[in-house]
Amino acid sequence: MLGAVRSLSLSLVLSASAAWAAEPELLTGRYRALTLNPNERRELKAVGLERVTGSSGRCLEEGMALDSVHTMFVEAKCASVRTSMAWLDNGKRIHVLVCAEDESRPAATVKKRQKVQTELKAWKGVTACVQGNEIHLLGWVQNASEREKLAGIARKHDLVDKVEVLGEGERE
């Protein structure tokens, strides 16, 4: 009997954890870059989200989540990189860069990318992504100082650096 109670309790905890993990990420800035694993779907919430524009294709799909208000989804089916626009009701837009990794990516490269990703937490507009046998830094920063910090991370880990500095009119 005690074993059955423990099993039921564990099931409830795991179900609650899964439900909590499925909560959409709240977008707070105008630029977001993220990496998706093969066949991963992620939901992003933005207050006032009206529509999502992009060019959904064979590898990456984006759109409005049908079961949530102010929520968009991005879904990876194969390796690709795309930028989508999340349009808010005040006329502003959020740029969402998605890099979807290939299923055949080398495990050691994925492990290195995950380590690099922990160093990028301060920059929501930048992501590390495995493309082929390389790791690319992709996204946007607000100024030259941030750009130089990311260039240092790229040199430290021998990454392909494709981060761009936003123009004055594009900055938050």
- For 148-172, the pLDDT digits (tens) are 999 999 999 999 999 999 988 787 7
Contact 141, 127 (CB under 8 A): no
In a domain, 46, yes or no: yes
In a domain, 101, yes or no: yes
Task: Retrieve residue 39's tokens.
Answer: 């066949």
Question: Can you give the pLDDT at residue 172?
Answer: 72
How many domains is the chain partitioned into structurally? 1
In the 8-state DSSP scheme, what is residue 143?
A: S
In a domain, 8, yes or no: no
Rounded to the nearest 10°, the torsion over CA 85, 82, 54, 47 is -30
In a domain, 6, yes or no: no
Give the largest Cα separation in the chain, rounded.
66
- Indicate which CATH number applies to the domain containing 166: 2.60.40.1550
Q: Which residues of the chain have pLDDT under 50?
A: 2-20
Q: How many DSSP H helices and E strands does the chain contain?
A: 3, 11
Q: Which domain holds residue 153?
A: 24-170
The answer, as to whether pTM is greater than 0.85, is no
Helix ranges restricted to H, 69-133 = 107-119
In a domain, 152, yes or no: yes
In a domain, 16, yes or no: no
List the beta bridge partners of residue 84.
96
Angle (CA) 101 24 130, round 5°:
15
Question: Can you give the pLDDT at residue 56?
Answer: 66
In a domain, 18, yes or no: no
d(CA 127, CA 80): 14
Contact 46, 65 (CB under 8 A): no
Backbone angles phi, psi at 70, to 5 degrees: 60, 35
